[in-house]
Amino acid sequence: MGSGTASPQVAGGTTYYLPLASIPVLFCQRSTLGANVLVKSGRLAVQFIAGIRTCIDRVNISANVTLQPSFGWKQVVRVFNLDPRQHTGYESNMLKIYATLGTTWNLAAPFRYPGQASVATTPFGLIPSLEA
């Protein structure tokens, strides 16, 4: 992460950079994905994207949201319902989380569900697995 990072975002006069990305991964146009995040130092920004339902701790957001260390653990969930005629089927930055330079943070219990799952009323708990 640094000044050469692609796709910087500016929110409230502060520049945020992409702290993680992956190779483009296949996902359905109707998908639910998320993770729990904890900011240890610095700040994270969760990008608002029109047409994609984004919740932080079960509350829909309607603008970019900044997360700070004093907020503790937060669950970020995105529910996609994309037009199949405009959806490529691949994405490399599904969470759309950005960080200020030098930010330390934890990412826990990431999930991706093919379909639209309801946002959990209790965001922290056991994550079911298909493995025994």
The whole-model pTM stands at 0.79
pLDDT at 79 over 80: yes
Q: Which two tokens stand for residue 31?
A: 């998908």
User: pLDDT of 7-43, one tens digit each?
Assistant: 788 888 888 988 877 667 777 778 888 889 999 999 9
What pLDDT was estimated at residue 111? 83
Q: Which two tokens stand for residue 81?
A: 């319902």
What pLDDT was estimated at residue 132? 41
User: pLDDT of 80-99, one tens digit each?
Assistant: 888 878 777 777 677 888 99
pLDDT at 119 over 70: no
In percent, how much of the chain has pLDDT > 90? 30
pLDDT category at 130 given cuts 50, 70, 90 is very low
For the chain, the domains span 19-113
